[in-house]
Structure 1
Amino acid sequence: MSASSPSDAESSPRAPAAPRDPGDPPEKVCAVCGDRATGYHFHVMSCEGCKGFFRRSVLKGVRFTCPFARRCPVTKAKRRQCQACRLQKCLDAGMRKDMIMSEEALRRRRALRGQRQPEPPGGLTAEQQELIAVLIAAHHRTFDSSFSQFTHYWPAVRLYVPSPRPESPAEPPAGLDEDVLPDVFSMLPHFADLSTFMIQQVINFAKEIPAFRTLPIDDQISLLKGATLEICQIQFNTVFNTETNAWECGQHCYTIQDGALAGFQQIYLEPLLKFHISLKKLGLHEAEYVLLQAMLLFSPGGEPGGGTRAGGPLGPADARSAPPDHGGITQRDFIDQFQEKVALTLKSYIDHQHPMPEGRFLYAKLLLLLTELQTLKVENTRQILHIQDLSSMTPLLSEIIS
């Protein structure tokens, strides 16, 4: 098929569309030509016709020339009149060439699909598999597990103030050894940069999720304010080492000692360490980590799963002490529905990938840990607001907790 020939989706007649119910959500439209979109293709909501056209044009490396002024209208009716303008509009809409699989890669994928046995009952649906693939891809593009890009930071500062020695041999705070650290250090500047770095990664992760990008900007901001600190902890858990009780971030390594040196109190640090140990010991897969992040992000009531209906994986009895709703949320139904889809996918994945006895109560344990994480977030926010100069050092952190 030449690059100029129509795709099957464009040439075949379409069945008349059934009349839509006024209460139905609006149909998604192709960002290129305005036709009915079938989903996100190459990073853009588009129809099958523009999806196929973009793929063929890039793979064949064809150079199109516009006979006019490169301002031809690209609509459902006129999209085949000028291929140069159509291709340019695909690129302007955000279609990414790097997401196109080669013919050989497609053949290999089809061959693998043909060899696969039918999935047993309880397996993931195609929609759930696609959701996981989207979230994992977003995670890979935005989370730097080696922290190699975290280069602009302040080192720990020695204040050269002698540590007061107690008259009685009182026990030092957990993780602190006064014999090793005779002077007071401050990890506050370093913590400020680390917080900003991790918050930015979470924001980028959210922006890579198509469902998040469709929300109004005010809703996006509300969801990020409500979930960013918790998502940071989920991402931080992926680099936690239960043998050393340390977070190993490439050339950087952190313990709760560093949190104390930044000004955090043991009432927060000790439960935080316990949370990370408990979560890490569950042995979650990468898919489960990204699904947890998405559950936290799409939480209009501030509680993971708090917005789902009784028929979903989290009924009313499971919503524990949900805090007040985020102000200004306009697309609450859409957010609730997407979070329910994420929660169902997580439950199905656990049931399918963690056979008994490993998977027994795993989903319930995760829900309990997310409840603990909500409590940690409240204490974390309280202490951040209490630490002198921290908010002024990190405007992004200040905006998140405002």
Structure 2
Amino acid sequence: MDMNMNSLSGMNPQVSGYLDPYTMPIDVTQQMAPQQSMQPMMQMPPQQSRVDSPPPPRIYKPCFVCQDKSSGYHYGVSACEGCKGFFRRSVQKNMQYTCHRDKKCVINKVTRNRCQHCRLQKCFDVGMSKDCVRNDRNKKKKVKQEVSESLVIPAEIEEVIQQVLHAHRETFQEEPPKDTYCVTSNLNNPCSQQVPQSTSLGLAGEPCSVESGGGGVNDQKPSKPSTSNGETDLSLFQHVSEISSKAIIMVVDFAKKLPGFQVLTTQDQITLLKAACLEIMVLRICSRVNSQDGSVTFTNGLRLTQEQLKSGGFGALLDTICQFAAALSKMKIDETEVSLLGAICLISSDRSGLKDPIKIEKMQEPLLEGLRYYVRKRRPLEPHIFAKILMKITDLRSISVKSAERVLHLKVEIPAEFPALITEMIDRNDDDD
């Protein structure tokens, strides 16, 4: 028994299973203790062993031109936002400045706006590069051109766009005639065309045209102008109503030229036209509004001032139309976009009283795709412009409702002078069946 114990005690203490803390030598126990105490520290990730500190802020030198706080390196030197923009505009527009002193003006944060000549000269003196501005401008143009060229409109969508544009051009002259004339309220009948007195929109195959004549609207003698404030000038109203009747006929012709419109039932054609006619007329008249004085030049060359239009029947509605025209002008809507927007207003499946709204919805889809493709190709760097243009339909519908209310007011005010074609267009009794 003693021999076995001696033999066990003489075995290597490092072998696993033979280490006894009570019989282990003191030096070995002391060597193991630090290793056991260090074990938790070895398992800690290195990120937790040190305190995170934010990187030091990047420090720029002051602006080399005016000593203001620099926003970075622009066109080769450290410069502030003000001097960067000034230098870019001066180079792109090729500005030529003049110094009214000895061309030795001190340029700093306070005096930099006093002398543009010396400020630009100091920009060059400190090392701003003109070529960097040109390269930056050319790069933007190149990117825009590449994005525009990379978008290919499908052939079937391109065909729809061209058909709608052709229908628009056939029924509306985008640019007003150069030879214009004005009227006064006491002129009897300066117009040489007569709107035929018809109560049909010309959808069943009968011709829908403007015939020559010399009698004016309804072949009635011109009435005396109204002298009361706030009332309609009957002489000017005859001009406005005659032009409006012709515009309705042109909208009908536009609809008949759109692909698939005449395939619809006659009832659906009438429903769509009555719902969208005023919208298309407002959309078209906006391209004729003079942004400077609010006057409008019509297709026959007649130019009416803002006051004449209000007295001739538009009233306060003209201000709303002019605001809408200014919004379209700001968006730089072109002829193709106007034509597609008008077609989308017309071919709309959410009109009440339609017999086949599903078919009309399918007809509208290529029109929406056409506008989307065309807008993206024309404005490749404006990703949200398509939605903004499409939202103008909501504004058009609001103006159309106000226009119908205005027409009904005029119909009550001057019932004997009201053209039957305009009356039929605003009559919605058929939609209530």
Deviation at 1:374, TM superposition (A): 0.9
Hey, what does 1:269 align to over in structure 2?
A: 318
Q: Give the percent of matched residue pairs that are identical in Structure 1 and Structure 2.
A: 26
Matches within 5 A, 1:315-326: 325-326=351-352
Deviation at 1:185, TM superposition (A): 6.4
- Cα deviation for residue 235 of structure 1 reads 1.7
Change (3 A) 1:118 1:385: closer
Q: Tell me, what secondary structure is at the counterpart of 1:241? A: coil
Q: C-alpha displacement at 1:364, in angstroms?
A: 2.5
Q: Over the residues paired in the alignment, what is the CA RMSD in angstroms?
A: 3.2
TM-aligned CA deviation for residue 159 of structure 1: 3.8
Measured in 2, the distance between the counterparts of 1:229 and 1:270 equals 16
Q: Offset at 1:365?
A: 2.3
Matches within 5 A, 1:122-271: 122-145=151-174, 146=176, 151-152=193-194, 153=216, 159=224, 186-249=235-298, 251-266=301-316, 268-271=317-320
Q: Per-residue CA shift, 1:207-252, capped at 9, x if unaligned?
A: 1123101111111111101101111111222323323322222521
**Over alpha carbons, which structure has the higher Rg?**
2
The verdict on how the C-alpha distance between 1:237 and 1:270 changes in structure 2, with shifts beyond 3 A counting, is closer
**CA deviation digits over 1:359-392, x for unaligned, max 9?**
3532232233221111111111011101123686
Contact 1:186 1:261 in 2 (8 A): no
Say which of 328, 339, 350 aligns to 1:279: 328
1:141 maps to amino acid: E
Q: Which runs of 5+ in 1 are unaligned?
A: 1-116, 165-172, 174-182, 302-324
Whether contact under 8 Å (2:320, 2:399) holds in the other structure is yes
Among 328, 343, 349, the residue aligned to 1:294: 343
Q: Which has the higher helix share?
A: 2
- Quote the Cα distance in structure 1 between the aligned partners of 2:405 and 2:235: 19
Q: Select the residue among 369, 376, 390 that pairs with 1:344.
A: 369
Deviation at 1:343, TM superposition (A): 1.2
Q: Alpha carbons of 1:379 and 1:390: their partners in 2 closer, same or farther (altered >3 Å)? A: farther
Aligned residue runs from structure 1 range 62-77, under 5 A: none
- Change in Cα spacing, 1:400 to 1:161, as seen in structure 2 (3 Å) is closer
Give the length in aligned residue pairs: 243
Q: Which amino acid aligns with 1:375?
A: S
**1:114-170 Cα distance to aligned partner (Å, 9 max, x none):** xxx998443211011100111111122222454799733469978466566xxxxxx
Q: What letter is aligned with 1:262?
A: G
Structure 2 distance, partners of 1:211, 1:391, is 38
The aligned counterpart of 1:394 is 419
Q: 1:210 to 1:159 in 2, by over 3 A?
A: same
Residues 81-137 of structure 1, C-alpha deviation per residue, up to 9 Å, x if partnerless? Answer: xxxxxxxxxxxxxxxxxxxxxxxxxxxxxxxxxxxx998443211011100111111
Q: TM-score, normalised by structure 1?
A: 0.54
> 2: distance between equivalents of 1:234 and 1:361?
21
Name the SS of the counterpart of 2:260 in structure 1. helix
| TM-score w.r.t. length of structure 2 | 0.50
Which ranges in structure 2 are unaligned for 5 or more consecutive residues? 1-145, 180-190, 195-215, 428-433
How far apart, in 2, do the equivalents of 1:213 and 1:262 lie? 35
State the one-letter code of the partner of 2:366: K
